[in-house]
C-alpha cells in the first residue's frame, strides 16, 4: 500500500492507497515541531482502527510546503515504516508537467501536484482554484504545463483578520448565508466573507480568461473548503476534493512506484 502525505500550512493529510483506490484519509494540524515519533504514535493508532499495520505500507510519497516538517516526515517513513519516501521537488522526478514560469524552483509542490492530479481526469487548458490557507489560481496551458497563477489570502485568514483587527467583530462560522444583506453583525460578516470570496473567485477567473482568450479553460475547484462554494460560483465547473492525492499517486506511478 502507498502512503501519500500532503503537508500544507494549516493541515497535513495522510492517505492510504491500495493500488486500486484510496482506502482511508486522515488529517492532522500541521506543526513543524512535531517529531517523527509523535507522528508514528498518532498514525499507528489510526492504522489499527482500520485494521492496518505499518508493514502494510510498502511505499511513501510526500509533498510539503513546510520545509521544517519535511525532516520529520522523512524520518517517519524511514524509521517507522521502513520505506524510502519519494519527495516531490527532490531528485529528478518525472511529474508529467513543467513549470514554465520565471523561477521554476519557486513553484510550490502542492500546486504542481494539483496540476498533475487535474491532468489525470480533465483536458487542458485548466484553471485550478485551490481554497486553503491561501487561495491559489493555477493556470495550465494546452500542453499541460503550469504557466503561472495568482495567490490571495485564504478565506480563513480573512475571517481571522477581521476578528483580530476589529475589537467588536466576533469570530464567525464560514457558511453560505440565506441572504446577501445581513440584518445583524454575524450575518453581515458571513455575507461579506462568503459572497466576497465568490466575487473574488469569479472575478479573477474571468480576468484570467480575458487575458488568455486564446485558451478555452476548464475550471476546477479543490481544497479544504471548496465544496462550500459549489452552486454559488458561476465559473467553477468541477469540484474535486482528491485532486492533490490523485496527483501524488500519479507522480508515484510515473516514477516506477506503482501500477495503475
Go through the domains of the chain in sequence order and give each one's CATH number. Answer: 2-92+247-254 (3.30.420.40), 122-239 (3.30.420.40)
pLDDT of residue 34: 92
pTM of the model: 0.87
Higher pLDDT, 108 or 56: 56
Percent of the chain with pLDDT over 90: 67
Lowest pLDDT segment from 41-50, 60-69, 78-87, 162-171: 162-171
Bridge partners, 144 (sequence order): none
| Higher-pLDDT residue of 89, 72 | 72
CA distances from 158 to 2, 56, 73, 152 (A): 36, 41, 30, 10
Tens-place pLDDT, residues 127-157: 999 988 889 999 999 999 999 999 998 888 8
pLDDT band at 258 (very low <50, low <70, confident <90, very high): low
Residue 17 has pLDDT above 80, yes or no: yes
Q: Which residue did the predictor score with more confidence, 209 or 108? A: 209
Kind and range of the H or E element at 111? helix 109-119
Residue 43, pLDDT > 50, answer yes
Per-residue pLDDT tens over the stretch 150-178: 999 888 888 888 878 777 777 877 888 88
**Mind telling me the catalytic residues?**
110
The answer to whether 226 and 129 are in contact (CB under 8 A) is yes
Q: Could you give the angle at which helices 109-119 and 243-254 cross, rounded to 10 degrees?
A: 80
Query: Who wins on pLDDT, 142 or 193?
Result: 142
**pLDDT at site 93:** 87
Mean pLDDT (the chain) is 91
Q: Find, among 229, 228, 5, 3, the residue nearest to 109 by Cα.
A: 5
Q: Report which secondary-structure segment, H or E, holds 220.
A: strand 218-223
Element housing 113 (H / E): helix 109-119
Q: Rounded to whole angstroms, what are the CA distances from 3 to 38, 68, 71, 122, 224?
A: 17, 20, 16, 24, 20
For residue 106, what pLDDT is reported? Answer: 83
pLDDT of residue 260: 41
- C-alpha to C-alpha distance for 46 and 37, rounded to whole angstroms: 14
Amino acid at each position: 500500500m502507498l502512503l501519500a502525505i500532503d503537508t500544507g500550512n494549516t493541515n497535513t493529510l495522510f492517505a492510504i492507497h491500495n493500488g486500486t483506490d484510496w482506502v482511508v484519509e486522515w488529517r492532522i494540524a500541521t506543526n513543524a515541531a512535531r517529531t517523527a515519533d509523535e507522528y508514528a504514535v498518532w498514525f499507528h493508532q489510526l492504522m489499527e482502527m482500520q485494521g492496518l499495520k505499518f508493514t502494510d505500507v510498502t511505499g511513501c510519497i510526500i509533498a510539503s510546503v513546510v520545509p521544517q516538517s519535511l525532516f520529520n516526515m522523512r524520518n517517519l517513513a524511514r524509521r517507522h515504516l521502513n520505506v524510502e519516501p519519494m519527495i516531490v521537488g527532490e531528485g529528478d522526478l518525472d511529474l508529467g508537467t513543467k513549470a514554465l514560469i520565471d523561477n521554476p524552483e519557486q513553484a510550490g509542490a502542492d500546486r504542481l501536484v494539483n496540476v498533475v492530479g487535474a491532468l489525470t481526469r480533465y483536458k487542458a487548458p485548466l484553471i485550478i482554484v485551490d481554497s486553503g490557507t491561501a487561495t491559489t489560481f493555477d493556470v495550465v496551458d494546452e500542453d499541460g504545463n503550469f504557466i503561472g497563477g495568482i495567490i490571495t489570502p485564504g478565506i480563513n485568514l480573512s475571517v481571522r483578520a477581521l476578528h483580530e483587527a476589529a475589537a467588536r467583530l466576533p469570530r464567525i462560522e464560514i457558511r453560505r448565508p440565506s441572504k446577501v444583506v445581513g440584518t445583524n453583525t454575524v450575518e453581515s460578516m458571513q455575507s461579506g466573507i462568503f459572497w466576497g470570496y465568490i466575487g473574488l473567485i469569479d472575478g479573477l477567473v474571468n480576468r484570467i480568461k480575458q487575458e488568455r482568450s486564446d485558451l478555452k479553460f476548464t475550471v476546477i475547484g479543490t481544497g479544504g473548503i471548496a465544496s462550500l462554494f459549489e452552486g454559488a460560483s458561476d465559473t467553477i465547473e468541477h469540484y474535486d476534493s482528491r485532486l492533490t492525492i490523485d496527483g501524488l499517486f500519479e507522480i508515484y506511478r510515473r516514477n516506477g512506484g506503482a501500477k495503475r
